[in-house]
Structure 1
Amino acid sequence: MKFGFALRRLALTGPGKAPAEVTFTRGLNVIAGPSDSGKSFIAQCLDYALGGGAAPKEIPEAEGYSTVVLEIEAYSDGRIYSLERSLRGGEVLCKTDGQSDRVLAAKHQGGKEDTVSQFLLDLSGLGTKKVRTNEQGKTRPLSFRDIARLVIIDEETVIKEDSPILSGQVIHKTVESGVFRLLLTGTDNSSIVAKEDPKVAKGRQAGKVELLEGLLKATRERLAELGEVSTLAEERDRLTRIEASIQTSLIERNAAQASVAPLQTRRSTAWTALKAVESKLAVLSELQTRFDLLEQQYESDLRRLVAIAEAGVRLDQLKEERCPMCGALAEHQHHDHREAHPAPADVSQACKAEAAKTSKLLQDLQTTRAANASEVEQHQTARATRQAEFDAISAELKALMQQHVDVASKKVDDLRARAETCRKVIEHLERVQELEELLDEANKPKKKQKTDVAGAAVSTAQADPFSREVEALLKSWHFPDLDRVSFSENDQDVVISGRARKSHGKGVRAITRAAFNLALLRLCIEDERPFPNFVLIDSPLLVYEEPDADEASFPQDIKRHFWESVKASFTDAQVIIIENRNQVPDVGTLSKVNVIRFTGNDQGRRGFIPEARGDK
């Protein structure tokens, strides 16, 4: 079996308390006993360990117990998991050999992996399924709580008149029918594209109208700022005329520019000649400045050389009396320490020769400088001439430009400004027209459109294979006067021999409710559809225990056929029946069945929870 899991052991533990536990096997399991022996408490503990929101009811026998432990075995790989949850609430601790312990959130959260709901859905093959929540096709992830009510049927639910599919809460009807359809067909609602909620659509439409009105008002205000405005057609015609005038004015401006072209050429030539003279003058002026600096240098050198020559003559005339180094008199001087130096007369002669050469260079420089100064003066005269010629041509050109070209250019600029204003007016008029059309469309009453989303209720045709399974089970139980079992689309429940299931007394409703849930289990097994593949039913044979007035004559042999059929039909899955001890047959009929019998007294096992020491 690819999907689902089997319940192996349920236990209550607490400090200093002997564990209260029951074990289960595949196939049929029976928990039998009198009232107040803890049978229904077992069903509550199972549901709680599997993520149920309500903790088990407080009973005196459970005082001191703190934790529910449920062992389950995955059908896919045989791995055993232990789910532990405090009776005070909180999350679920999941343990298994070879893996780290996991804390699973008790409450389902779509998209979250670490929840007990997602863990159980994955084991059941339903981990990625979605269900529809309303008529518009909105969907949400499936929760194990959506499935739990179809596999754990307590003693109160088993006799209800409502459909086994439905909880009786109108707001959940779409989801509950969608879950049943998913189990019957294997197809969920993931592909449905949700239709917009009418209230949301109405609010969105009102917002759209408000937005369009605001945009229209703002556009009209900007249009008013542009001055007097005609109709859209007139403004377009006006723009056409302005653009034609622009073309004519451009031709006139081009002709005016052509008339001054020769003068512009002359001005350009004069400008080039002026810049050439100025460039040559700048070079000559720079040379003249450098010549002046060189002349100053030569004159400085000459003065220095003359001074050195005169000093040499004077030094040569002096008598040497004492050593300039040590101060010794001549007769005491030793000349081995003296260094060779030229005589002052030689130095004086060398300076005079160098001065003669420098004087010659100075004369040459002065000649060159005079020639350069003359050339500078000539270029200054030429520059003044060129500048006057350029200024005269520029004045003439300016006068012609003002008379012809500038007038034509101004006319073109004015026309272009008018054209731009006209384009803005046209743009705003077109925007106003567009917004008015959108606003008219938004204010029109919307016709109701039929949704393409299929109805939420399970149809008779979709449930036909399921109806045949219910019919087969009831036949195997020898249900009286059985004719045909069908499915009512309105009630979302089976119709047995032409009579609605809910119209029977509570006893018959209980046994037919058992047929409903067991048929769903068998259909999923035969078609290999995703499903937890276990079912627990509390008190399906109530018709024999507390019959209504019209159920007193209900055939007794149905009870025997019920046990034989369930025992033989679900050997590969798991069925747990909780029933009063009077309705459970002897060992022969239930041979090889896991039967847990509570006696309610000291003869055998009293109940689910062991009797405390000292209690009688």
Structure 2
Amino acid sequence: MITMQPLPGIRIRRLRLAGIDRTYDVDFRDAQRVRPLSVVAGAFSSGKTAVLEFIAYGLGAKRHPRHPEVLRKVRSCLLEVELSGEPHVIERSVGEPSKVAYVRRGTLDNPALSNAESRPIEPAGAPDSLSSLLLGHCKLEGVQLREAPTSRESRTDPLSFRDLMALAFLPNERVADKHFLFENQFMKRHKLKQVVDVVFGVHDDRAVELGQRIRELGTRLSNAKAELAGARAFVQEQRGPIDLRDALTPQAFHFELAEIAEQLQALDHQAQAGTAFAAQLRREHQQAAQTSRRAAAVLRDCESQLARMLPLRAQYADDLLKLGMLAEARQLFDPLSVTTCPACLHRLAGPPSRTDGQCSLCHHTLPEGEEPLTLGSADSEHGTDENRLDVAAEIRSTKARLKEITTYIDELDASLTELKLHAEDAALAEQHAAAALDEATSPAVSPYLAARDSLQRRREEVLRQAQHAENAAKLNEGIAKRVATVERHEAQIAGLREELDQLGDAARDRDRVLARISGRFGELLHQWRYPKLSQPFIDSNLTPHVRGDSYQEASSGARTLLTLAWQLAVFEVAIETSAAHPGFLMIDSPQKNLGHGGTLDSTIADAVAIDDFYRHLTAWLAEQGAGAQVIVVDNSPPDLVEDCVVVRYSRSEDRPPYGLIEDEVGTEESS
């Protein structure tokens, strides 16, 4: 087996879907290293395709899977990747597709090595976009694609990493499709051809394009140097008690703070053990304090009751006075004497009387009876004595209540003095108990208090120094980040200038690359025992042919093999020639039309064994493709790659994991 250093580009380490109370992980590592071949296996509709789609989303795709269980359970997508061999984490929110990705150095499980950078998804050509970051690690940052390749004055669009994903992701819908190369979409087909040429460095006008990229990167380099100079000037001004160059790391101060916390805890235990002899005094003090609190509470309750009763007694006294006035008014004024007509105000000839069963004043019919006419009986037809106010009874009742309230107030007032004395005695006893406790424990506690105060002062000083160190680390991190940007741009410009110096004939170079891809295409079909194989080749438009016809004329199963061979041929040649390829390839459903999904092509399925496909992958990844990464989604991979299966979804509650969202059982997910 050939051992090689990790290739530049991108490798997928882990996918994590973070929910509210748990996460859903897929790990593509083996002993902390990226697996060359990873297989996601399992039943239909268990979430296998969603794994690849979420990886693409983490790398800048516009959309993510929107299955109901995903929207219910998942809040963010975190993708742990290697960018030129260094671990990074890319995070995007789930729900409404996010417009921003957050990128930080480090892994999912370890603390972040740097603060997360906000990188917009659009526009892809912006220097701070996620696409520019990823393309920079593929040696393609700043590439421009012409809209009309035959016109030198054509407008250009910046290359997007999404354009490059056509060579790194073969989704299920493209496998065996008659428009595998986007023949029905002119602009996408045109862009695919340009991307292939750019990846292999054989596109037309390479000198012009390289010059433009050098100028673009030169502008970015100048801006990066200006930012670096400004940051260094700012850091120079911020140097304080701790020199930023010699400052300890914040972790060192955190360790010291942890030691101080342990010493304080030990000191408290020693102080408690050293004053154990005063346990009885503590109990006496606690009892005295509790007695004092109860006495004070009773006193407050008595004072509150007295404060409420005094206004109530005054109110009853006032009511009694009003009732007395009412009784006197009835004696002074006869309410039954009516001497003036209420209508004309003339004096009546005589008082009102009952005449023929009617009132002589208003001629209203009165109830039968011999009682003399009074206002009380004339109030209504049903008038009774129930509505009359019995003033005497009310006076008696009010006097009785007033007497009860007065007696209760006198009792409260009499007990108030005693309660005050009791509360004062209890408070004094509590003070004596506290003084006795302090007198007994002060000689033993004082040394501990002095030591504790010293540790607290030391802790405050360490906290201050830790804050200085954190500020210094942040400033140094900003400097290091800008230095890395400057060095990256300088290295890119040097590489482009070297490439510019070594340019050959673009047409001949493209023919050589195409011939190599075409040859690998035929070798793959031969290894896979393609039936009646003859004349396999890829033409100048990148269209695969076999038996003298375009792939579009082949059967469904044959198209599966042809599309797989085309994708693998481009990928393998790119890796072997150190072309500007991301370095990974994702394939969804390589057995489509060969026994799983869609219509079974019996002719091809009978002749072709999927074992040959995987046997070639494992052999190539172990030799010429060492350092590359392939991720395959397959319903039922053969036993020979069982060790490469990173997860197998059962879609059965009895055999977990059920699916990608494994706690959502009985739901339909993407296959």
TM-score by length of 1: 0.52
* 1:89 paired residue among 88, 94, 97: 97
SS in 1 for 2:102: strand
Deviation at 1:55, TM superposition (A): 2.5
1:550 and 1:615 map into 2 onto residues whose CA distance is 30
Deviation at 1:546, TM superposition (A): 4.2
Deviation at 1:141, TM superposition (A): 2.3
Structure 2 counterparts to residues 63-212 of structure 1, below 5 A:
63-74=72-83, 76=84, 78-87=85-94, 88-90=96-98, 91-97=100-106, 98-110=113-125, 112-134=126-148, 135-137=150-152, 138=154, 139-164=156-181, 166=182, 168-187=184-203, 189=205, 191-192=207-208
* 2:544 paired residue among 466, 482, 494: 494
Gaps of at least 5 residues in structure 1 are 194-453
SS in 2 for 1:570: helix
Residues 29-58 of structure 1: per-residue CA shift (max 9 Å, x gap)? 111111110011112111111111123232
* 8 Å Cα contact 1:129/1:189 also seen in 2: no
Counterpart in the other structure of 2:58 = 49
1:549 and 1:610 map into 2 onto residues whose CA distance is 30
* 2:568 paired residue among 502, 518, 536: 518
Deviation at 1:455, TM superposition (A): 12
| Matching residue's letter, 2:76 | T
1:607 and 1:101 map into 2 onto residues whose CA distance is 31
Counterpart in the other structure of 1:11 = 16
Counterpart in the other structure of 1:604 = 656
| Matching residue's letter, 1:124 | C
* 8 Å Cα contact 2:557/2:600 also seen in 1: no
* 8 Å Cα contact 1:83/1:94 also seen in 2: yes
SS in 1 for 2:605: coil
* 8 Å Cα contact 2:19/2:76 also seen in 1: yes
Residues 1:132 and 1:551: Cα distance change in structure 2 (over 3 Å): farther
| Matching residue's letter, 1:497 | R
Answer yes or no: is 1:576 the counterpart of 2:584.
Answer: no
SS in 1 for 2:641: coil
Residues 449-493 of structure 1: per-residue CA shift (max 9 Å, x gap)? xxxxx999x976652111111112222222222233212335x31
Counterpart in the other structure of 2:529 = 478
* 8 Å Cα contact 1:469/1:519 also seen in 2: yes
Deviation at 1:527, TM superposition (A): 0.7
SS in 2 for 1:555: helix
Residues 331-365 of structure 1: per-residue CA shift (max 9 Å, x gap)? xxxxxxxxxxxxxxxxxxxxxxxxxxxxxxxxxxx
**Identity over the aligned pairs, expressed in percent?**
25
1:136 and 1:580 map into 2 onto residues whose CA distance is 47
Residues 1:106 and 1:129: Cα distance change in structure 2 (over 3 Å): same
Counterpart in the other structure of 1:26 = 35
SS in 2 for 1:489: coil
1:489 and 1:11 map into 2 onto residues whose CA distance is 41
Residues 183-239 of structure 1: per-residue CA shift (max 9 Å, x gap)? 23455755459xxxxxxxxxxxxxxxxxxxxxxxxxxxxxxxxxxxxxxxxxxxxxx
Residues 1:455 and 1:175: Cα distance change in structure 2 (over 3 Å): farther
Deviation at 1:26, TM superposition (A): 2.8
* 8 Å Cα contact 2:534/2:547 also seen in 1: yes
SS in 2 for 1:604: coil
1:22 and 1:51 map into 2 onto residues whose CA distance is 19
1:560 and 1:472 map into 2 onto residues whose CA distance is 16
* 8 Å Cα contact 2:37/2:631 also seen in 1: yes
Residues 1:26 and 1:613: Cα distance change in structure 2 (over 3 Å): closer
Deviation at 1:142, TM superposition (A): 1.5
Counterpart in the other structure of 2:69 = 60
Which is further off, 532-541 or 171-180? 171-180
Counterpart in the other structure of 2:217 = none
Structure 2 counterparts to residues 301-340 of structure 1, below 5 A:
none
SS in 1 for 2:65: coil
Counterpart in the other structure of 1:227 = none
Residues 494-532 of structure 1: per-residue CA shift (max 9 Å, x gap)? 112323112122332223212111111110111111110
1:502 and 1:615 map into 2 onto residues whose CA distance is 36
Counterpart in the other structure of 1:539 = 589
1:121 and 1:481 map into 2 onto residues whose CA distance is 41
Cα RMSD (Å): 3.0
Counterpart in the other structure of 1:467 = 518
Gaps of at least 5 residues in structure 2 are 1-5, 29-33, 107-112, 210-504
Deviation at 1:555, TM superposition (A): 3.1
* 8 Å Cα contact 1:129/1:190 also seen in 2: no
Residues 398-437 of structure 1: per-residue CA shift (max 9 Å, x gap)? xxxxxxxxxxxxxxxxxxxxxxxxxxxxxxxxxxxxxxxx
| Matching residue's letter, 1:585 | P
TM-score by length of 2: 0.48
* 2:559 paired residue among 497, 502, 509: 509
Residues 250-282 of structure 1: per-residue CA shift (max 9 Å, x gap)? xxxxxxxxxxxxxxxxxxxxxxxxxxxxxxxxx
Counterpart in the other structure of 1:399 = none
SS in 1 for 2:81: strand
Structure 2 counterparts to residues 562-573 of structure 1, below 5 A:
562-571=613-622, 572=626, 573=628
SS in 2 for 1:568: helix
* 8 Å Cα contact 1:130/1:190 also seen in 2: no
Q: How many residues in Structure 1 have an aligned counterpart in Structure 2? A: 347
Which is further off, 597-606 or 57-66? 57-66
| Matching residue's letter, 2:23 | P
1:597 and 1:556 map into 2 onto residues whose CA distance is 27
| Matching residue's letter, 2:563 | R
Residues 1:167 and 1:104: Cα distance change in structure 2 (over 3 Å): farther
Rg comparison, structure with higher value = 1
* 8 Å Cα contact 1:31/1:577 also seen in 2: yes
Deviation at 1:180, TM superposition (A): 1.3
Residues 1:487 and 1:577: Cα distance change in structure 2 (over 3 Å): same
